[in-house]
Amino acid sequence: MKFFKNLAVMGALLAGSPAIAQEQFITIGTGGQTGVYFVVGQSICRLVNRGTAEHNLKCTAPSTGGSIANINAIMAGDMDMGVAQSDWQYHAYNGTSEFEGNQFENARAVFSVHGEPFTVIARADAGISTFADLKGKRVNIGNPGSGQYATMQVVMDALGWTMDDFALASELKPAEQAAALGDNKVDAIIYTVGHPNGSIQEAVSTVDAVLIPVTGPEIDALIAENPYYAAAKIPGGMYKGSPDDVDTFGVKATFVTSSDVDDEVVYQVVKAVFDNFDRFKRLHPAFESLTQEEMISAGLSAPLHDGAARYYREQGWIE
């Protein structure tokens, strides 16, 4: 199989035509339009589509529900690639937590992107200054299908909380959450996301709101026991109302695919990103500090896709 595929590729190269013989559409799963995943997907597609004449790939990156929805869509073959939190990449590949009984053995890592602190932002008038203060309040947990919704469940389990501990646990999408905070429909929103991002900027410009630290022995234990969690800080001064650094924990945004996706396709996508890396980094402030070394190692728990490994090997980045 592999032999024939390589022959076809060789034939195409000899004939001077792209290795992907016919125009092929690929879809990248992202997240809400006010998040950073959407920018990741759009940016990757923009770089891929600059080279369509050479490689015959056309890329689209629609808005989706987020990490869990993306992984499920890739597993079902409905999408080719997607952005997902490192914790959910881990659980999908290992068939644990949310993916128990629904293991995605063919999950493959491509690279990681920006860090995503688990972020809590509360109305300044809500009487919330610690994570424990969320008890009894109206809290937006996020939409089911998002990674953050699932990660909030993990945090709640660690604390022994259930949804009943909140006066309201709403499931609004990122695009709706800032307005809900501003309109006093919720006291706080929870969002695991790269910074700065549009949704939180929108929230703090509509109402006085503050970032709430997420710390304590249960959080320390989550970090100590799970390789995909790390201590994180949201830098002071990034958002109005939060002049000081805020401590929390976080994950990494990662780019994932399936071993069912053709090596040449993944190779071309990875090449489009890393051949144009400076351009990529300029497409969002959350990408500014990305380094190639970290992107091909940190936060990846599924094996590297063969197409990605081929590019990294060619560059001398891996053995």
Interface residues with ligand GLU (CB under 6 A) are 31-32, 35-37, 66-67, 85, 116, 146-148, 192-194
Q: Closer to ligand GLU at the Cβ: 36 or 57?
A: 36
**Is the Cβ–Cβ distance between 258 and 75 less than 8 Å?**
yes
CB of 6 to ligand GLU, least distance (A): 36
Which residues make Cβ contacts (< 8 Å) with residue 157, sequence separation at least 6? none
CB of 130 to ligand GLU, least distance (A): 23
The whole-angstrom separation of Cα 299 and Cα 67 is 14
CB of 279 to ligand GLU, least distance (A): 20
CB of 22 to ligand GLU, least distance (A): 32
- Burial code of 209-219, b = ≥16 C-beta within 10 A, e = fewer? bbbbbbeeeeb
**Is the Cβ–Cβ distance between 143 and 63 less than 8 Å?**
no
Q: Closer to ligand GLU at the Cβ: 51 or 281?
A: 281
Q: Closer to ligand GLU at the Cβ: 24 or 151?
A: 151
**Is the Cβ–Cβ distance between 122 and 128 less than 8 Å?**
yes
CB of 49 to ligand GLU, least distance (A): 21
The whole-angstrom separation of Cα 310 and Cα 274 is 13
Radius of gyration, alpha carbons of the chain: 20
**Is the Cβ–Cβ distance between 189 and 139 less than 8 Å?**
yes
Q: Closer to ligand GLU at the Cβ: 43 or 85?
A: 85
Q: Closer to ligand GLU at the Cβ: 56 or 192?
A: 192
Q: Closer to ligand GLU at the Cβ: 126 or 189?
A: 189
Residue (of 132, 116, 115, 133) closest to 124 by Cα position: 133
The whole-angstrom separation of Cα 50 and Cα 224 is 43
Residue 261 half-sphere exposure, CB side, CA atoms within 13 Å?
A: 32
Q: Closer to ligand GLU at the Cβ: 123 or 252?
A: 252
CB of 303 to ligand GLU, least distance (A): 21
Residues forming beta bridges with residue 81, ordered by sequence position: 28, 257
CB of 44 to ligand GLU, least distance (A): 14
